């Protein structure tokens, strides 16, 4: 059991437990902070899965920008007074959602197993290009700007649209 | 020791936890965080499979998912704050303005 396996076990457990903590905690700020921990664990998992660029992006975009937005929204909405409200509407709803979630998990696992994942993927894995670990960022950039160049531009337009939409929403509320 | 199936199972579990959170919680911010968690589970599955198949296209796809999720967070939080400014209440059970 090498160092990678130990790190893998630790951060998989961390990602899973912090995900459960997000859903079960009463306080919104605590949920946001648990989510930061979840994101950081996932970033480490990305690095262990030979995707260091995505690990860095995860920390910068998610744990940085997105979580700042979330905490900012918590501050504006002033969620403190709802701290003593019950966590779920009713035990029945929570139970039903739990059963549905477990069903979803089982269905996804069954679908993946039924699809014969290993057999389906093995030939493609053997035929694909070797040495993805050595120069990950250059390869991702090549894939991003050659095959995905059009998508890249579309994402740029999407981000611009989102910025304009948020500005319009904020402005209209100030006028009224 | 930890193969492709282990990480896929982890991603499935995180996705299901996120779905549970969206279904049960009434706080829109926690619902939103749960949706982000489901995004992240999909990303984790993509990274795991592209690591297994030695393909980098999955990484490019995750890049796009992260960008779309960032745009979605900006718009979604803007909507939640706009609702709070008019309603002074963000409990999703009380938001029935769009009801026919």
pLDDT in tens, B54-100: 888 888 899 999 999 999 999 999 888 888 887 777 677 777 766 65
How many domains does chain B fold into? 1
Give the rounded percent of residues in chain A with a pLDDT score beyond 90: 30
Name the least confident of B11-25, B29-43, B78-92. Answer: B78-92
Residue A103's pLDDT is: 87
Among the listed residues B90, B35, B22, the one whose alpha carbon sits nearest the alpha carbon of residue A78: B90
CB contact under 8 Å between A79 and B29, yes or no, is: yes
Answer yes or no: is B93 within a domain: no
pTM as predicted = 0.84
Residue B1's pLDDT is: 61
The shortest CB-CB distance from A130 to any of B16, B34, B54 is to B54
Going from the C-alpha of B57 to that of each of A19, B44, B53, B62, B82, the distances in angstroms are 27, 14, 10, 9, 38
Residue at which a domain ends, from A81, A102, A124: A81
Do A77 and A142 fall into the same domain? no
Residue A11's pLDDT is: 93
Do A137 and A77 fall into the same domain? no
CB contact under 8 Å between B47 and A51, yes or no, is: yes
Q: Which residues of A49-81 are buried (b: 16+ CB within 10 A; e: fewer)?
A: bbbbbbbebbbebbbeebbebbbebbeebebee
The shortest CB-CB distance from A125 to any of B18, B52, B91 is to B52
The shortest CB-CB distance from A70 to any of B5, B33, B43 is to B33
């Amino acid at each position: 059991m090498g160092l990678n396996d130990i790190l893998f076990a630790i951060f998989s457990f961390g990602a899973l437990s912090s995900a459960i903590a997000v859903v079960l905690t009463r306080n919104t700020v605590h949920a946001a902070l648990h989510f930061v921990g979840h994101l950081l664990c996932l970033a480490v998992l990305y690095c262990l899965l030979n995707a260091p660029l995505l690990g860095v992006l995860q920390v910068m975009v998610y744990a940085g920008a997105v979580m700042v937005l979330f905490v900012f929204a918590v501050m504006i909405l002033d969620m403190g007074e709802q701290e003593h409200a019950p966590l779920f509407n009713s035990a029945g709803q929570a139970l039903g959602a739990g059963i549905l979630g477990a069903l979803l998990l089982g269905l996804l696992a069954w679908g993946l197993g039924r699809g014969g994942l290993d057999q389906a993927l093995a030939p493609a894995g053997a035929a694909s290009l070797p040495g993805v670990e050595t120069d990950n960022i250059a390869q991702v950039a090549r894939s991003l700007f050659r095959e995905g160049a059009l998508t890249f531009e579309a994402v740029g337009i999407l981000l611009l649209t989102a910025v304009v939409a948020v500005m319009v929403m904020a402005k209209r509320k100030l006028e009224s | 020791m930890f193969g492709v199936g282990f990480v896929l199972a982890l991603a499935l579990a995180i996705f299901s936890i996120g779905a549970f959170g969206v279904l049960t919680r009434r706080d829109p911010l926690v619902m939103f965080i749960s949706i982000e968690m489901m995004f992240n589970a999909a990303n984790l599955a993509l990274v795991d499979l592209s690591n297994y198949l030695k393909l980098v296209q999955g990484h490019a796809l995750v890049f796009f998912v992260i960008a779309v999720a960032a745009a979605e967070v900006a718009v979604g939080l803007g909507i939640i704050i706009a609702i709070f400014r008019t309603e002074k209440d963000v409990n999703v059970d009380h938001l029935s303005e769009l009801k026919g």
